[in-house]
């Protein structure tokens, strides 16, 4: 469920936006001043923030700056101010989009959908990235970097490192590793895993002197 924070001091407009977004399947939280909006942004996570500019207390512009310091949630500014200067200023200040009052709900919904798609898209990418110390592993692209330098791993080496990085505190037996990294059954060849681990270590060493993988004698391997 995507959560949207609506910062708008006019009750009618705030309620109207909430109703329209609610109908479209979004969960909405309403704030009626800039101060309240910033407070919500500080304490809760949102998929998107709609921000009116003419607000009591701190202005929308100030709220925008504060929100962008707190979270990288996309912000769509809604305002009657439609001079080109203020649009450019707001986009420069970190607004992701701009809607001028009066607006059609259809337009608002379309712009909301675009921002949410963009934002959740980048989030899925992040979920597909594993990070352990300075090793980054990108599951989708089969890419591994150490200190941002790419290293070349075979498919099995990649899968082994992926498993270890998924649970860095856990010790994995050779059986576990084989089951995860190979499609066929474990055939009890301990040497195979040792060779692959040793290759991964060598490849990591080409970039960093650090020892990343620990051998737990008699049990298996884990991240250090």
Residue 96 as a binder of Ca ion (CB under 5 A): the answer is no
Residue 58 as a binder of Ca ion (CB under 5 A): the answer is no
Residue 61 as a binder of Ca ion (CB under 5 A): the answer is no
CB 200, CB 157: distance < 8 Å: yes
Least separation in angstroms between residue 79's CB and Ca ion is 8
CB 139, CB 130: distance < 8 Å: yes
Least separation in angstroms between residue 80's CB and Ca ion is 8
Instruction: Judge residue 148's burial from the number of C-beta atoms within 10 Å of its C-beta, 0-12 exposed, 13-18 middle, 19 or more buried.
Output: exposed
Query: CA-CA distance, 34 to 59, in Å (whole number)?
Result: 6
Residue 54 as a binder of Ca ion (CB under 5 A): the answer is yes
Residue 52 as a binder of Ca ion (CB under 5 A): the answer is yes
Query: CA-CA distance, 64 to 62, in Å (whole number)?
Result: 5
Bridge partners (DSSP) listed for residue 135: 132, 146
Least separation in angstroms between residue 78's CB and Ca ion is 9
Residue 36 as a binder of Ca ion (CB under 5 A): the answer is no
Strands 48-52 and 75-79: parallel
Residue 9 as a binder of Ca ion (CB under 5 A): the answer is yes
Residue with Cβ nearer Ca ion (14 or 73): 14
Least separation in angstroms between residue 52's CB and Ca ion is 4
Residues that bind Ca ion (CB under 5 A): 9, 52, 54
């Amino acid at each position: 469920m995507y959560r949207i924070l609506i910062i708008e001091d006019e009750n009618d407009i705030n309620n109207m936006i909430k109703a329209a977004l609610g109908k479209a399947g979004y969960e909405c939280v309403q704030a009626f001043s800039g101060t309240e909006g910033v407070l919500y942004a500080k304490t809760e996570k949102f998929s998107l923030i709609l921000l009116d500019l003419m607000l009591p207390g701190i202005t929308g512009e100030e709220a925008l700056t504060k929100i962008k310091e707190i979270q990288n949630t996309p912000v769509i500014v809604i305002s009657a101010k439609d001079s080109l200067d203020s649009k450019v200023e707001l986009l420069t200040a970190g607004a992701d989009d701009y809607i001028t009052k009066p607006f059609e709900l259809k337009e608002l919904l379309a712009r909301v959908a675009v921002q949410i798609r963009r934002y959740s898209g980048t989030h899925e990418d992040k979920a597909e990235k594993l990070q352990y110390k300075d090793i980054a592993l990108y599951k989708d692209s089969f890419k591994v970097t150490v200190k941002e330098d790419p290293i070349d791993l075979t498919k099995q080496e990649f899968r082994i490192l992926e498993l270890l990085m998924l649970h860095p505190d856990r010790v994995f037996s050779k059986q576990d590793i084989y089951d995860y990294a190979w499609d066929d059954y474990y055939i009890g060849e301990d040497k195979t895993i040792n060779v692959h681990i040793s290759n991964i270590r060598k490849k990591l060493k080409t970039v960093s002197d650090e020892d990343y993988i620990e051998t737990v004698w008699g049990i298996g391997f884990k991240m250090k």
